[in-house]
Structure 1
Amino acid sequence: MPTGVALRDPRRQLFDAAGRVLLRDGASELTSRAVTTEAGVAKGVLHRYFADFDAFLTELVLERIEQVKAQGAALRDVAGTGTVTDNLTSALTTGFDPVMVAVVVLVIARDELRTRLRAAGTARLPLVGEFTAAVADYLTAERDLGRIAPDADITTLAPTVIGAAHLQFTEHGDDPAKAVAVRKVVTTVLAGAVR
């Protein structure tokens, strides 16, 4: 990009470019050069807004965590409406979009990134932990409303739903069959808990 051309939202442009690189090439190919090339900007642009590449990646993941928290709040707000299975299936298929799945792989692959994220106060496994907490909050709200059995073990159900659903997304990718597979996971995991 020529010097002196104003960027409308450089952080957003770089984050979006990182998502495209992750989807196309995978976590091992995500470099500052790949991101800036994909974004169509000079390499120095990334370093103008972030101290280093790991700082960029940290902010990328923290932004995704904020999205997960917003989705979690929206999920909790639908407690008592629709069915528990429908609500969870919808939240999981929306929340585990292809970029989210790719970012989870990135977090797992990069030790320095996990270290920085934990220092920023994230869950032990960033993104997955926050998503698990959102599901646990929702299931607790449904239990309080009597739609989940009072003795349901939320601390076991939430990570089980998240883990099993995440596997569906890694296996099905962007395949429409993933919604059917996720519904089956939710139905099976919550079979003994949903009233």
Structure 2
Amino acid sequence: MSPRGVAIPDLRERLFAAAERVVARDGAAGLTSRAVTAEADCAKGVLHTHFAGLDEFVAELVLDRFARGARRAEGLGALVGRGTVAGNLQEVADALLDSLPPAVARLAMTRAVAAMHTQEGIRSGAPAFDAIQGSVTAYLEAEQLAGRVAAGTDVGTIALALVGTVHHLLMTRVPAGDEDGDRPRGGSGASTARLVSVLLGAEPGTGA
């Protein structure tokens, strides 16, 4: 265990990664501050030293993963003219779906205080799905100028449809082994692959 009073490098990410492991192993009910710090091999009080409570911690975890997704979407700009348009979009969609375990996403929705903190963070400018949509739109506009997306294609609507679908799947997937309901289960990449094909495949010259 890390000694008391010694700074822990990358503490936030260490705690976030530990929380994801706890949820993956024990389910949402197993996520407690003590379980997280034990998994992270930290002193018991570390989480409450840096976060107001478990709800704020869950919200910050979700916001951190949204920001990671936004950074991944920004990387689309470096892919203009490379690979295929559909393939590049699919890689980003898959990365977004992998950015947050289904059980953690459900926690952020079902814990009212965590949901409130998450929304407050987004309203305050934390990068989330609006930023991701903007990056996808900018990428498609650049590919349109390069001739790989047909002139006249409504790239803004394509970006909205893709990001909206990813958001829906990310926030409604049922974790593996959860028998509750008929919502989409993990491994939803096939759904986004079909969507990308529909959005781009109907347009000539997409490079898909």
Matches within 5 A, 1:61-140: 61-97=62-98, 99-122=100-123, 127-140=128-141
The answer for unaligned runs of 5 or more in structure 1 is: none
Deviations 1:55-100 (A, max 9, x none): 3223222322321222111112212221101111122222321635
Structure 1 vs Structure 2: percent identity of aligned residues? Answer: 35
In the aligned structure 1, how far is the partner of 2:190 from the partner of 2:103? Answer: 21
SS of residue paired to 2:4: coil
- Structure 1 28/139 Cα, relative in aligned 2: closer, same or farther at 3 Å? farther
- RMSD of aligned C-alpha atoms? 3.3
2:181 is matched with none
Deviations 1:117-171 (A, max 9, x none): 33234599x8444433332332232233332233323333223223445649934
In the aligned structure 2, how far is the partner of 1:162 from the partner of 1:40? Answer: 36
2:4 is matched with 4
Contact 1:93 1:179 in 2 (8 A): yes
1:186 is matched with 196
TM-score (norm 2): 0.72
Q: How many residues align?
A: 191
Deviations 1:19-40 (A, max 9, x none): 1123334445433233223223
Q: Name the aligned partner's letter for residue 87 of structure 1.
A: N
TM-score (norm 1): 0.75
- Structure 1 84/7 Cα, relative in aligned 2: closer, same or farther at 3 Å? same
1:52 is matched with 53
- Structure 1 61/89 Cα, relative in aligned 2: closer, same or farther at 3 Å? same
Q: Name the aligned partner's letter for residue 186 of structure 2.
A: G
Between 185-194 and 41-50, the greater mean CA deviation after superposition? 185-194
SS of residue paired to 1:99: coil
Counting helix residues as a fraction of each chain, which structure ranks higher? 1
The answer for unaligned runs of 5 or more in structure 2 is: 174-183
